[in-house]
Structure 1
Amino acid sequence: MEVNMWYSPIKKLSLIAILLVAFSSFAYAADIARTLRTNTQDNNDPDNFIEIGLGAGAFVGSSLTDSDGIFASPIINLSASYNWNGFFIDVLAETAEPIVIGYNAYNSDNWSFDLVLGTTDGGVSEDTDDRFIGIIKRQSSTMLGGRITGYFGKNILQMSLKYDARGRSKGTVASALLGRNWQYRNWNFHGLVGLYLADAKFNNYYYGVTEEESAVTGIQTFDGEAAITFNSSMGVTYPISENWIYRATVGFGSNFGQNDSPLYEKKRNFHIGISSSISYVF
């Protein structure tokens, strides 16, 4: 089946919404993802950095539009982290949310606890697809909570719990993530597996369909329920030079429960993605 490399603005918006869920296996909190990629052995002081790169990616999974759920596209990789006296800001590609602001409340050789504040992207709206004309636009949520990270040699365990402090979904999300890396000469391989739980309130806000929305759009009513998503990924990082980095990642996961929503035009109980990029790190 042919995969288009370019999309209309509407389909780009829907693709973004899908990737927020599907590529969550590729985008974790900065301290664990970057630590694995840079082969850090323990909980060292985090680095300040800016990373800019170009690459390409492909994805197979569920789709909110009338497409078949198969996408391929160029990628602009932009990520950054700034740390000062325990406070930090992590941006874009290194986070599961676009921006995470936090404070490191506890730090030892093996354990770290952070208070974190992040924002999700919005969900469906009239701009996503013609099917959603008349639907109430889903706004972004401000997620407040904590995360604890344990460092055991090359293994890292991280758990988090967050609540929608803005009160739009009034939902709670939790996650548990385990990662490990392997070094072979200059090639640094890493693996990640994780579980992500969103409660019924969170899923109902983003994936539910009210009777009023159903009457206008013709989409079947739906009440979102609590759902668990499994994600896994394998990646490799290779330092081309002091500042240039090559990275490739492949991921697999399931989104059982979320894609029960009739908002999805194409439903799959799994998602697969692959990406490759070259970046410059300041």
Structure 2
Amino acid sequence: MKFNLAKQVSLALVTLGFATSSIAADISHSLRNNTEFNSAPENYFEIGLAAIAGKGSSFTRDDEDFSDFEVLVNGSYNWRGFFIDLYGESHTPLVFGYNAYDSKNWSFDVVLIPTGNGMGEELDDRFIGINERHVSVMLGGRATGYFAGNTLQLSMQHDITGNSSGTSASVLVGRNWQYRNWNFHGMLGLNYNDEKLVDYYLGVSEEEAARTDFTAFTGKSVLGFTAEAGVTYPINEDWVFRATTRYGSAIDNDSDSPLFLTDRDNAMSVSTSISYVF
């Protein structure tokens, strides 16, 4: 789990898709580790150090550039179909789930995902007078298929907390290539967040505008595109090196929220990490 970095990256990508990175998490792990589809789930835990730099929107920075060093924690625990995934390199790194169906080429999971970091005056003094935005807990399903070396994942979730009552959906395809001990991977995705979800986090009501310096704003639904490419190299049995570049862009976006200090319709980052695997 990335701490300050999670805040920076998630704010940079908030208009591009709340759920895509979390959905990508288990695909990214399997591609990085060259895991065969339908293989037994892997229980593991690792901790490391990551460095990241990039450009993106932010609620707290008046510069679109960012860089940071962070502690990185990844892990997974599986028991009789139930699983917990902790993947620090994603926007929403914690996923609870149950594998309800498995076949030769398809599997289906029921997932519970906390998403959206929440927002209030503790984040920045600019938000004094703004109603606090709370974390949404998304319940839904994801179907994962494997075809000729490609991995396809379809997902949809709905907020069950009633905070936003919003819905998100995504389509993701990924593939990996092995060259000696270097494992390369690439992923492309589309993600959709409906108007309720976007407006809850980015909108400014008339009442909030009346007691702050923000102008009133109604968030609209967002369709976004994401891309990721990376390489993984096992230094030895215990240490793993990773490098990743990510890009996200809003295809259909009317999100010029006044809450942003720096507003872009795309975000990009480059990161490297070294982790110890237990």
Superposition TM-score, scaled by structure 2 size:
0.91
Q: What is the rounded CA distance, in whole Å, between the counterparts of 2:255 and 2:145 in structure 1? A: 32
Query: 1:15 maps to what in 2?
Result: 8
**Stretch deviating more after TM superposition (118-127 or 191-200):** 118-127
8 Å CA contact 1:219–1:263 kept in 2: the answer is yes
- Cα distance in 2 for partners of 1:264, 1:278 equals 32
1:118 aligns with 2:113: yes
Equivalent residue runs for 1:7-156 within 5 Å: 15=8, 17-19=10-12, 21=14, 28-93=23-88, 96-156=91-151
The change in CA–CA distance for 1:93 and 1:209 in structure 2 (over 3 A counts) is same
CA contact (8 A) 2:242 2:274 kept: yes
206-215 vs 89-98, which deviates more?
89-98
Residue 66 (structure 1) shift: 4.5
2:233 aligns with 238
- The equivalent of 1:270 in structure 2 is 266
C-alpha contact (below 8 Å) 1:143/1:165 kept by paired residues: yes
Contact 1:14–1:128 (CA<8 Å) still a contact in 2? no
Cα pair 1:13 1:127 within 8 Å, conserved: no
Task: Note the residue ranges of structure 2 that are not aligned, 5 or more in a row.
Answer: none
CA deviation map 1:199-254 (0-9, x unaligned): 00011101110011101112111111110121101000001111211000011111
| 1:119-177 Cα distance to aligned partner (Å, 9 max, x none) | 11433311222221110110001100000000124210001010001111000000110
* Structure 2: distance between partners of 1:230 and 1:170: 23
State the partner residue of 2:170.
Answer: 175
Distance 1:93 1:130 in 2: 28
The worse-fitting range, judged by mean Cα deviation, of 156-165 and 39-48 is 39-48
Contact 2:192–2:224 (8 Å) recurs in 1: yes
Aligned residues with identical type, % of pairs: 50
Do 1:203 and 1:258's aligned partners in 2 also have CA atoms closer than 8 Å? no
Question: Which whole-Å CA distance do the structure 2 matches of 1:258 and 1:91 have between them?
Answer: 32
Q: Whole-Å Cα distance in 2 between the matches of residues 49 and 177 of structure 1?
A: 24
Partner of 2:214: 219
Q: Match for residue 166 of structure 1?
A: 161
Moved more, 13-22 or 182-191: 13-22
Hey, what does 1:4 align to over in structure 2?
none
d(CA) in 1 for partners of 2:243 and 2:20?
A: 13
Task: State TM-score, norm by structure 1.
Answer: 0.90
Q: Judging changes above 3 Å, is the alpha-carbon distance between structure 1 residues 200 and 18 closer, same or farther for their aligned structure 2 residues?
A: same
- Distance apart, 1:14 and its partner CA: 5.6
Backbone CA RMSD of aligned residues: 2.2
Q: Pick closer, same or farther for the CA change 1:237–1:46 going to 2, 3 Å.
A: same
The number of aligned residues is 273
Residue in 2 aligned with 1:6? none
